[in-house]
Amino acid sequence: MSMKNTDISLLDTILEKMITTVDQSKGEIYTIAEQSRKDYEALLRELEEIREKVHSVIEEQDQLERNVRLARLRLSEVSKHFHTYSEESVRETYEKAHDLQMKLLVSRQSEKQLIERRNELERRLQSVHSTIERAEYLVSQVSVVLNYLTQDMKRIGEVLEDARLKQEFGLQIMEAQEEERKRLSREIHDGPAQMMANVLMRSDLIEKLYRERGVDEAFKEIRSLKQMVRSALYEVRRIIYDLRPMALDDLGIVPTLKKYLVTIEEYVQSLNKPTKIEFVNMGKEDRLPSKLEVALFRLLQESVQNALKHAEATKITVKLEINKHNVLAVIKDNGKGFDVKEKKLGSFGIMGMKERVELLEGDLSIHSKPNEGTLVMISIPIID
């Protein structure tokens, strides 16, 4: 594993821990808020009970104060006419007045305690309510932070992953270039070069046949030789088209694409594969800037090659429209399709197409499902 991959993995771990910690903190704050709400409701119920008790005590005090006044009047009357009342009556009157006075004192003390408790509950309610509001605010703020972390950090992860893929893509391009050189070397060696060697051998054979068997046998061999030269010429043209069609500079994208698709169809059918390639030009055959024509040709070439090589399509339709402002291309096949969400290791064809379209400030969309074919849509602005 490379150092950069290790760094990305370490960064992912740190971000995951941050998100987990923030999420746990959010849960703890939410728990505090819920507990505070329960405490607030309990305090509120107790406050209501205390208020009812205060009301009852005040009513009781009012009644006691009336009874105390009456008792005092009675005691004053007994004191004035002390000799007319028995000792027992005087004692009862005195004790009753004293008892009422004590009850009033106790009631006032109880009222004082209840009022103090009521005031304390009101202060606590205000404090708990403030805690609830603060906790709710913190929960909302932590939710915002968590959203930023999960969304923005996800974007960072995607950017890092994209950078890693681009690095791998660059390395893959270099490897592909070397493989392409090897492939081209093999194709020339096994195809045109081998055929040219055979032409030399067959030309010597023609001379020998002419001397030993006559003109008819020599002409037979010449006809066979012409077919071999024709095949060699076809192979050379195919290799040139794969490298860069010369007609692209002379004729433009539309005629070159027509010829390329016909050539590819003939080549595929020569391998006994019943593949039909249809080309539909829906716009004008206007020339485009040279770089745009080359890039567009490569994009369409890659799409067709993917349909032939990977999708194993038997029918491919290529539609092209060049208008005043942009170029639209659609490549549709009836191949085996694929899951566009699945990233295959070492598969950089589609990524290469995306990179090329991005450089042209265009759009690329690929629609495909297993066993349902593939639709590639390319839109590129024409910038003078």
Sequence spans of domains, the chain: 3-171, 273-384
**Is-contact 187 239, C-beta < 8 A?**
yes
Q: What is the pairing mode between strands 276-281 and 315-322?
A: parallel
Residue of 262, 229, 266, 228 whose CA lies nearest to 245? 262
The predicted-structure confidence for 20-31, as pLDDT tens digits, reads as follows: 777 777 777 778
**pLDDT above 90 as % of the chain:** 11
What pLDDT does residue 3 have?
Answer: 42
pLDDT, average across residues 80-103: 80
What pLDDT does residue 365 have?
Answer: 92
Pick 333 or 23 by higher pLDDT: 333
Q: What is the pairing mode between strands 374-381 and 326-333?
A: antiparallel
What pLDDT does residue 346 have?
Answer: 42
What pLDDT does residue 179 have?
Answer: 63
The predicted-structure confidence for 202-242, as pLDDT tens digits, reads as follows: 777 777 777 777 777 777 778 777 777 777 776 676 666 66
Res. 11: pLDDT tops 90: no
Query: How far is it, in rounded angstroms, from Cα 378 to Cα 354?
Result: 10
The predicted-structure confidence for 31-82, as pLDDT tens digits, reads as follows: 887 888 888 888 888 889 988 988 888 888 888 888 888 888 887 877 777 6
Bridge partners (DSSP) listed for residue 365: 377
What pLDDT does residue 302 have?
Answer: 87
CATH architecture of the domain covering 3-171:
Orthogonal Bundle (1.10)
What pLDDT does residue 170 have?
Answer: 56
**Helix H or strand E segment including 134:** helix 87-188
pLDDT, average across residues 289-307: 88
What pLDDT does residue 1 have?
Answer: 43
Compute the Cα dihedral for 261, 263, 264, 270 and give only its sign: positive
C-beta contacts of 157-164 below 8 A and 24+ residues apart = 157/12, 157/15, 160/8, 160/11, 161/8, 164/4, 164/5, 164/8
What pLDDT does residue 298 have?
Answer: 86
Pick 198 or 315 by higher pLDDT: 315
Query: How far is it, in rounded angstroms, from Cα 372 to Cα 335?
Result: 7
The residue behind tokens 């903190």 is: 25
Tokens representing 140 are: 């909302």
* CATH number given to 273-384: 3.30.565.10
CA angle 80, 81, 85 (to 5 degrees): 135
Mean pLDDT of the chain: 79
**Which amino acid belongs to residue 46?**
E
Query: How far is it, in rounded angstroms, from Cα 101 to Cα 67?
Result: 9
Tokens representing 310 are: 């990977």
